[in-house]
Amino acid sequence: MTTILHTHLFSDIPESKQLNFQDPASPIMEQIIILHDYTMFILITILTFIIWILIKTTTRIIYWRNMNENTKLEIIWTILPAIILTTIAYPSLKLLYATDESIEPELTIKSIGNQWYWSYEYSDYENKKIEFASYMIPTEELKIGDNRLLEVDNRLIIPINTNIRILITAADVLHSFTIPSLGIKADAIPGRLNQVNFLTSRPGIFYGQCSELCGTNHSFMPIVIESTNLKNYSYFIHTET
């Protein structure tokens, strides 16, 4: 199977000692990162205020005679947390519904988890059915610049700026289809189809792994999605058929 991109300049893999998210490659992942930063700002502000109060109360004796049975104060510290929770809950629910939004797909791909590899199927083309398995490349077969435990022999090729639906299932045990930079995570359950809709906003190579403990080789079934332009994608479909 031909690989469209032969460079790792646009690959998204976690760097050593990385504390932040991977660079987003889909609108949903961009919103997830924004929500995370927004929530962390609120939490750190509250934590700083609480630490300041603790320091003040432990370093000096302060007594406010009007604090006991103060109705106004009780109303304030009841309403204020409710307002803070609402400001966090609203964007969270909005993003949750956005991730589950049903969009008319332009391309449907079926992904099947197996012990211990992934298989893919393109079935949208008349009289053409593209099927292939994607196995991890063993360490001894890696080339210079390849990523250990992340490279596969056959990547999943998709076009950029295209609404894509992936139907996810499993052939044996529970697996989990996860691509952090695309904001994708869905369980692969035998006898059941889970659906994920996404759109890639830029070309690149995006790495993921099975996120459900599925057996002894659980950590050796990576997922690699290669997003490319429509011309290269058409070439891939033509060569595979």
Q: Answer with the one of 100, 124, 156 that is the final residue of a domain.
A: 100
Residues 71 and 170 in one domain: no
Q: Answer with the one of 100, 132, 165 that is the final residue of a domain.
A: 100
Residue 70 maps to a domain: yes
Range of the domain at 211: 107-240
Tell me the percentage of the chain whose pLDDT exceeds 70. Answer: 89
The average pLDDT across 192-201 equals 91
Q: Answer with the one of 40, 65, 100 that is the final residue of a domain.
A: 100
Residues 136 and 176 in one domain: yes
Q: Between 68 and 115, whose confidence is greater? A: 115
Q: For the domain that residue 92 is a member of, what is the CATH number? A: 1.10.287.90
Check residue 13 and give its pLDDT: 56
Find the helix packing angle between 71-99 and 27-59, rounded to 10°: 160
The average pLDDT across 110-138 equals 89
Residue 118 maps to a domain: yes
Residue identified by tokens 């022999």 is: 153
Residue 52 maps to a domain: yes
Residues 152 and 211 in one domain: yes
Instruction: Give CB contacts under 8 A, 24+ apart, made by 6-10.
Output: 8/145, 8/147, 8/205, 10/202, 10/203, 10/204, 10/205
Q: For the domain that residue 189 is a member of, what is the CATH number? A: 2.60.40.420
pTM of the complete model: 0.79
Check residue 64 and give its pLDDT: 65
- Report how far residue 177's alpha carbon sits from residue 186's, in angstroms, rounded to the nearest whole number: 5
Structural domains of the chain, count: 2
Residues 167 and 113 in one domain: yes
Residue 19 maps to a domain: no
Residue 147 maps to a domain: yes
Q: Which of the residue ranges 69-78, 88-97, 114-123 would you say has the lowest mean pLDDT?
A: 69-78
Judge whether residue 120 has pLDDT over 80.
yes
Residues 213 and 116 in one domain: yes
Q: Provide the pLDDT confidence category of residue 18 given band limits of 50, 70 and 90.
A: low
